[in-house]
C-alpha cells in the first residue's frame, strides 16, 4: 500500500503538469471508484473544472478545483495514477510518460485534459476511491480521520508525547493509526521503530521523554529517506511516471527477516502485530515496560 512517501512522490510529479489544466471530460468507468456517490455525480462535478493546486493530506491526494471544491483520491492498496502526454508519447524530461504496464488495464477513471493529455486512475483491486468535497466538508472529513502531518512543524516532541500518553496498545499499532500520525503505514512504522531503537510491542504510553524524541525523529527520518528514494516499490506501486521507487532496496529491517541487523549484526525477526507483519532487531530495539501508574490502575503487577 502506498504510504506518505509514495503518495507525496506522485503529488510532486503531478503538480507541475496538472496545475492550470482543465478536466475537459471525466469518465468514471467503475462505479466503485465514486462510491458512495454516483459515477455521474463525480463526473459532472469535476468536468470543466481547472486544477489550481495538487496537495496531499496523509495518504490522500487533493486536487483543488477552480470552483472551490476538491477532487480527493485515495489509492488504497493498489491504485495508481498515470499522466499521459497529448500525443501519448514521452519527451525527455516530461513527467507524462506511459507506465511500463498498461494503464488502460484495470482503468477505473479517465480525466481528459484540455491539452489532450490524460490522467488515468487504474486499480486492479477496486479499493481506490475518488470523491468531490467542498472546503468545509473536506476539513471535517480529514479532521475526523487524520492526525498530525509528520513532515510539518506541528509534529513536535510534545505532540508525540501528548498523542501517546496513556496508550496501552503496541507502538506498532499506534504508528499505524492515522488519527495519530497521518500517512505512516506498515513499511515506515517498522523503519521508524528501528531508527528509534524501540520494540514494536512496547506500549505507546510507556515512552519517556527521550523515547518521544527518538520516535518523532525516527518517523521523520524514515519518511524522508523514503521520499529521497522516490518511495518503495513492493507489490504494485509505481509513481505517476510509471517508474519504481528504490526505497525497497534500502529497508533497514522491513522484509529482512533472518538478515543481519545493519547496526549490531543480530538476526532480524518477524512477528505479527495487529495482523500486520512486523520486522525488528531484538537486540537494538528496547522493549519498554508499562509505566507503574498504569499497572496500579489495572490492579497491580501481582495480578498479571
Ligand atoms: Zn540490531
276 is catalytic: yes
The CA 12 to ligand 1 mean position distance, Å, reads 34
Is residue 111 situated within a structural domain? yes
Asked if 141 and 161 sit in the same domain, the reply is no
Is residue 151 situated within a structural domain? no
Asked if 228 and 123 sit in the same domain, the reply is no
> What is the mean predicted confidence (pLDDT) over 292-299?
51
> What is the mean predicted confidence (pLDDT) over 135-139?
97
pLDDT confidence bin for 239, thresholds 50/70/90: confident
Bridge partners of 62, per DSSP, are 55, 72
The CA 59 to ligand 1 mean position distance, Å, reads 30
Distance CA 19, CA 37 (A): 25
CATH number for the domain including 294?
Answer: 1.10.8.50
| pTM of the shown model | 0.89
Is residue 152 situated within a structural domain? no
In this structure, the strands spanning 70-74 and 129-133 are antiparallel
pLDDT at 221: 98
Cell (9 digits) for 271: 512477528
Bridge partners of 273, per DSSP, are 276
Q: Which residue has the higher pLDDT, 251 or 235?
A: 251
The CA 258 to ligand 1 mean position distance, Å, reads 12
203 is catalytic: no
Is residue 169 situated within a structural domain? yes
pLDDT confidence bin for 100, thresholds 50/70/90: very low
The CA 299 to ligand 1 mean position distance, Å, reads 35
pLDDT at 78: 84
Check whether 293 has a pLDDT greater than 60.
no
The CA 283 to ligand 1 mean position distance, Å, reads 5
The CA 195 to ligand 1 mean position distance, Å, reads 10
Average pLDDT, the chain: 89
pLDDT at 297: 52
pLDDT at 235: 62
The least confident of 41-45, 213-217, 225-229, 239-243 is 239-243
Gyration radius of the chain over CA positions: 21
| Active-site annotation holder among 126, 213, 255, 276 | 276
Asked if 297 and 165 sit in the same domain, the reply is yes
Check whether 292 has a pLDDT greater than 70.
no
Check whether 99 has a pLDDT greater than 50.
no
For 54, 70, 117, 145, 168, the CA distances from 60, given in Å and listed in that order, are 11, 12, 23, 11, 28
> pLDDT tens digits, residue range 272-290?
999 999 999 999 999 998 7
22 is catalytic: no
The CA 270 to ligand 1 mean position distance, Å, reads 13
**Residues of the domain holding 88:** 4-145
The CA 267 to ligand 1 mean position distance, Å, reads 8
| Active-site annotation holder among 11, 59, 108, 216 | 59
Query: Which of 86, 110, 145 represents a domain boundary (last residue)?
Result: 145
pLDDT at 232: 81
CATH number for the domain including 78?
Answer: 3.20.190.10
Cell (9 digits) for 60: 490522500
Share above pLDDT 90 across residues of the chain, in percent, rounded to a whole number: 74
The CA 51 to ligand 1 mean position distance, Å, reads 47
pLDDT at 206: 96
pLDDT at 247: 85
Check whether 97 has a pLDDT greater than 60.
no
* Among candidate residues 301, 176, 188, the one with its CA nearest the CA of residue 251: 188
> pLDDT tens digits, residue range 162-209?
999 999 999 999 999 999 999 999 999 999 999 999 999 999 999 999
Q: Are 172 and 195 in contact (CB under 8 A)?
A: no
Please count the structural domains in the chain: 2
Distance CA 121, CA 71 (A): 13
Query: Which of 97, 122, 145 represents a domain boundary (last residue)?
Result: 145
Check whether 77 has a pLDDT greater than 60.
yes
* Among candidate residues 221, 137, 209, 219, the one with its CA nearest the CA of residue 180: 219
Share above pLDDT 70 across residues of the chain, in percent, rounded to a whole number: 89
Is residue 253 situated within a structural domain? yes
> What is the mean predicted confidence (pLDDT) over 139-158?
98
Cell (9 digits) for 199: 520494540
Query: Which of 112, 145, 178 represents a domain boundary (last residue)?
Result: 145
210 is catalytic: no
Q: Are 104 and 26 in contact (CB under 8 A)?
A: no
Amino acid at each position: 500500500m502506498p504510504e506518505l512517501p509514495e503518495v507525496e512522490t506522485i503529488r510532486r510529479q503531478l503538480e507541475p503538469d496538472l496545475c492550470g489544466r482543465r478536466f475537459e471530460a471525466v469518465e468514471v468507468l467503475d462505479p466503485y471508484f465514486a462510491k458512495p456517490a454516483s459515477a455521474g455525480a463525480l463526473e459532472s462535478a469535476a468536468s470543466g473544472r481547472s486544477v489550481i493546486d495538487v496537495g496531499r493530506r496523509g495518504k490522500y491526494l487533493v486536487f483543488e478545483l477552480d470552483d472551490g471544491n476538491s477532487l480527493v483520491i485515495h489509492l488504497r492498496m493498489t491504485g495508481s495514477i498515470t499522466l499521459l502526454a497529448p500525443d501519448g508519447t514521452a519527451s525527455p524530461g516530461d513527467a507524462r510518460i506511459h507506465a511500463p504496464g498498461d494503464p488502460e488495464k484495470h482503468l477505473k477513471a479517465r480525466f481528459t485534459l484540455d491539452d489532450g493529455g490524460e490522467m488515468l486512475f487504474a486499480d486492479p483491486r477496486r479499493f481506490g476511491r475518488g470523491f468531490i468535497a467542498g472546503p468545509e466538508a473536506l476539513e471535517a472529513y480529514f479532521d475526523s480521520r487524520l492526525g498530525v502531518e509528520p513532515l510539518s512543524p506541528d509534529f513536535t516532541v510534545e505532540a508525540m508525547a501528548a498523542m501517546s500518553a496513556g496508550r496501552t496498545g503496541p507502538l506498532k499499532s499506534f504508528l499505524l493509526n492515522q488519527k495519530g500520525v497521518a500517512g505512516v503505514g506498515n513499511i515506515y512504522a517498522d523503519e521508524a521503530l528501528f531508527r528509534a531503537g524501540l520494540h514494536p510491542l512496547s506500549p505507546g504510553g510507556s515512552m519517556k521523554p527521550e523515547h518521544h524524541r527518538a520516535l518523532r525523529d525516527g518517523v521523520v527520518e524514515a519518511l524522508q529517506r523514503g521520499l529521497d528514494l522516490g518511495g518503495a516499490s513492493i507489490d504494485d506501486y509505481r509513481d505517476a511516471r510509471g517508474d519504481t521507487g528504490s526505497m525497497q532496496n534500502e529497508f533497514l529491517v522491513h522484509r529482512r527477516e533472518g538478515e543481519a541487523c545493519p547496526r549490531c549484526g543480530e538476526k532480524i525477526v518477524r512477528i505479527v502485530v495487529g495482523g500486520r507483519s512486523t520486522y525488528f532487531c531484538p537486540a537494538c530495539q528496547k522493549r519498554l515496560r508499562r509505566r507503574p501508574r498504569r499497572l496500579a490502575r489495572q490492579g497491580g503487577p501481582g495480578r498479571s
